[in-house]
Amino acid sequence: MKKNLIALIVISLFLVSCAVFPEKYGIPLEGAEREKTVAQSDQIANEMLMSINTGDYDMFSRRFNQETRVHLPRKYFLEKRDRILGKLGKYKSYKLKGVFSHGETTPAVYIAQFEKGKMTLLIILEQTGEGYVVGGVEMTSGKTTF
């Protein structure tokens, strides 16, 4: 429990620092490393965003690590989804803003277009032997954090 709390605090501090200081996402990835990362992060982002339309928590959380799954359970996802749909409508498309190297993590930042506005999706990726898993998520639109 203490380990989960520490992980949540570290991720929360990172997400807050990224929101307040956008240049703090890290060092932009380039070349082959960027392309390899984007191939995986695009798939993860698309699944997460499509799941907002469908309400499919299993798709939304499919690539979560255990800590993220604990801190973003189905009930929390459904509440977030209702708020997003109420404010922005259905998800339409996304555009990659950038992927970065930030210590042990790889932040991927997307701008998602919805029927009534845009949302920034920050996905904190963690490298495993089998590819990336999601170690944190932040979704914002203007001053609203979902």
Judge whether residue 6 has pLDDT over 60.
Answer: no
User: Three-class SS of residue 10?
Assistant: helix
Per-residue pLDDT, 49: 98
Q: When comparing pLDDT for 6 and 37, which is higher?
A: 37
Nearest in space to 114 (alpha carbons), one of 60, 38, 52:
52
Q: Say if residues 65 and 126 touch (Cβ distance below 8 Å).
A: yes
CA end-to-end distance (rounded Å), the chain: 25
The first and second tokens of residue 94, run together, are 């996304």
CA distance 45 to 36: 15
Structural domain 2-145, CATH architecture: Roll (3.10)
Per-residue pLDDT, 3: 54
Judge whether residue 12 has pLDDT over 50.
Answer: yes
To the nearest 10 degrees (0 to 180), the angle between helices 74-88 and 31-54 is 90
Per-residue pLDDT, 19: 45
Mean pLDDT of 51-59: 97
Judge whether residue 50 has pLDDT over 80.
Answer: yes
Predicted TM-score (pTM) of the model is 0.82
